[in-house]
Structure 1
Amino acid sequence: MPTAIIADDEDLQRGDLQRMLQLLWPELHILASCEDGGDALEAIVQFQPDIAFLDIRMPELSGLDVARASDGKCRVVFTTAYDTHAIEAFKLGAIDYLLKPITEERLAHTIARIQEQSSSGVLPKDLIHVMEALNQRLRLPQETETLRWISASSGTTIKLFSIEDILFFESDLRYTRVVSAEDEGHIRTSIKELQKSLAPDLFWQIHRSIMVNPKAIARARKDELGNILVELKNHKEQLKVSQTYAWRFKGM
C-alpha cells in the first residue's frame, strides 16, 4: 500500500487535497496531515512515507527546506499558489508541481506520474540538484515587514533587543527566552509565530523549541551519546539539536 504525508499551513487547502487524494487514489494511505514544515519533516523521519505533498510556503521550514532535509528518502510533490514559479526542473520527472487551487484533473495527472515512477522502484537521482535549482528560482515576496527589534520583559523591566544581536530563542509552554551575549528577556510569542515575522535564514531552527542565529555558532559537536550540541561564540550555554534538524550539521 503506497503511503504519503500532506503538509500545508492552510486548513482548507490541506483538507481539499486529502479529500481529492482519497477519491482519486483510494489505495493511498495518508499517514499524517501537517500544518507546518517542522511537523512535515518530523512525519517524514517517523513514518518514512513514499510521497510527500509539500506546500512551498510554510512556517518553521519551507517545503523546499523539508524536501532538501529529507535527502531523497521519498518522492516530493510541491503545491503553491504562485503561478510564476513553474520551472524547467520539473520536466526531470523527479517531482511535480501543483498550482492552487488544485483541480481533480491536474491531481489525477500527478498521481499517474507518481505511479509510473514508483513502478520502477528507483528514487530520482536528481532530487537534490532540483532542490538547489528551485531554491535559486523560487524567490517568494515577503508579505509582511520583518522584525528588526524585539521588546522583552525581565521582571518589571522592558528590554529592547536588536534582531542582529540575538543569539537564540528558546521556548517553553508559556514563554520564549530572548538571549543576547549580554542580556536576556522573555516574550509571550511562540517560535512558530516568531518565524512568520523574521527574515528567512536569519535564524536556524535546531529543535522544536530553539532557534539560533547561525552567525553566533562557534562549533557543533557530538556528545558521548551521539547527540549534536551547538556551542556559541559569546555565550556559555550549549544548545541541543534534535534529530529532526540534525541535517543542518550533516557533515559531522
Structure 2
Amino acid sequence: MNATALIAEDEPLLAQALRAELARAWPQLRVLATVGDGAAAVEQALALRPEVLFLDIRMPALSGLDAAATLADEWPAEQPLPALVFVTAHDEFAVQAFEAQALDYVLKPVQPERLQRTVARVQAALRARAAPDWAGLRALLSGAASAAPRLRHLMASAGNSVQRIAIDEVLVFEAADKYVRVLTQGREFLIRTPLKELLPQLDPEGFWQIHRGTVVRVDAIDRVTRDEAGKWRLTVRSLDEAFAVSRLYADRFRAM
C-alpha cells in the first residue's frame, strides 16, 4: 500500500540504514524527510503531515517520547494522528516504547525480518485507520510509574518573598518560560522546579496533566468544553482563565 513517512534519527548512518531497509520492506512507502532531532521532527511532521513516524527515542534536546507528545498536542484535530514507531538501540527503551502504546518498535541495528513485521503492523493499522492509544505514553511522560515520595508542600516565590504552600491548596501548575506558575484560590506563585520533576511527586488521582505544560487539581475542575475546531478548554473553580486540553489527554473527558 502507498503511504508517507518521516524518520527522526540523530545518527546519520543509522538513519540511512533504516531508510534503505524500509525501501526494501515497503517499496511503496515514500519517506518525506529524515531529520536529526526531536524539535525538527515536530516541525517537519506538522508541515508535511506524514502517515507514519519513525522516532528515535534518544535524541538531542527533545526525545522521541517528548516529540510524540508535542505532536499529539499540536496535530490538527480534523486529521488522524500518524502511526507511531519508536526506534532505539536499547532493550529497556523498546519495552518503554511498547508500554507507550506505540504501534511498534524497532531495535538498532535494524534487522530486516523484524522490520518486515513492523511494516505489516503499520499497514494493518493504516487500513483500519485505528487511533493510537496514548495512555501508556501519558504514563511515561508523567512519571506515573515512579516511586518518588508525594509532595506535601512547596516553597514558592510571591514578589520579593518566599511562601510555604500546601499541595492541597494548589489548583493549577502551569509551565511558563523558566518557571512554573502555581495557582491557588486568589493567589499566584512561581517556582523553578520543572513540571517534569514535579509530576512524579504529585498524586495521579488528585492531579491530572491536561497539556504538556499544564496540570490541574481533579476535584477543582469545573467544566470542559469543545469548540467548533475540535479544541478542548478546561475551567477551574475560583479561576477566571481557561486552560487548553491537548488531544493526548482529551479522552479523559470524553467518557464523562
**TM beyond 0.5:** yes
CA contact (8 A) 2:225 2:232 kept: yes
Where does residue 185 of structure 2 map in the other structure? 181
Alignment partner of 1:98 out of 88, 106, 109: 106
Q: Against the structure 1 CA distance between its residues 86 and 176, is the aligned structure 2 distance closer, same or farther, given a 3 Å change threshold?
A: closer
CA contact (8 A) 1:45 1:244 kept: no
Q: Which amino acid aligns with 1:15?
A: D
In the alignment, structure 1 residue 170 sits paired with structure 2 residue 149: no
- Alignment identity in percent? 22
Answer yes or no: is the 8 Å Cα contact 1:152–1:186 preserved in 2.
yes
Higher relative contact order (CA 8 A, sep 6+): 2
Find out whether 1:210 has 2:218 as its counterpart: no
Of 3, 6, 30 in structure 2, the residue corresponding to residue 4 of structure 1 is 6
Q: In 1, distance between residues paired with 2:227 and 2:131?
A: 32
Counterpart-to-counterpart distance in 1, 2:64 and 2:149 = 17
**What's the TM-score once normalised by structure 1's chain length?**
0.60
Structure 1 gaps of 5+ residues are 7-13
Change (3 A) 1:183 1:126: same
Counterpart in the other structure of 2:52: 51
Aligned counterpart, 1:220: 224
2:177 partner amino acid: L
Kept after mapping to 2: 8 A contact 1:154/1:186 = yes
In the alignment, structure 2 segments of 5+ residues that lack a partner are 24-29
Pair 1:225–1:192, CA change in 2 (3 A)? same
- 1:204-249 CA-to-partner distances (Å, cap 9, x unmatched) read 133x54332333211112468875331212x222223166557345
**Corresponding residue for 1:15?**
10
The residue identity in structure 2 corresponding to 1:103 is: P
Alpha-carbon RMSD: 5.0
SS at match of 1:247: helix
Matched, 1:157 2:152: no
Distance 1:78 1:218 in 2: 37
Secondary structure of the residue aligned to 1:178 is strand
Output the CA distance in 2 between the equivalents of 1:170 and 1:134. 20
Q: Which amino acid aligns with 1:185?
A: F
Shift of 1:153: 0.6
Distance 1:241 1:3, change over 3 A: same
In structure 2, relative to structure 1, the CA distance for the partners of 1:238 and 1:79 (3 Å cut) is same
Give the number of equivalent residue pairs. Answer: 227
How far, CA to CA, are the matches of 2:160 and 2:136 in structure 1? 49
Are 1:247 and 2:250 matched, yes or no?
yes
Q: Deviations over 1:28-79 (max 9, x none)?
A: 234666649xx9788766643222335499776987x95xx99963323245
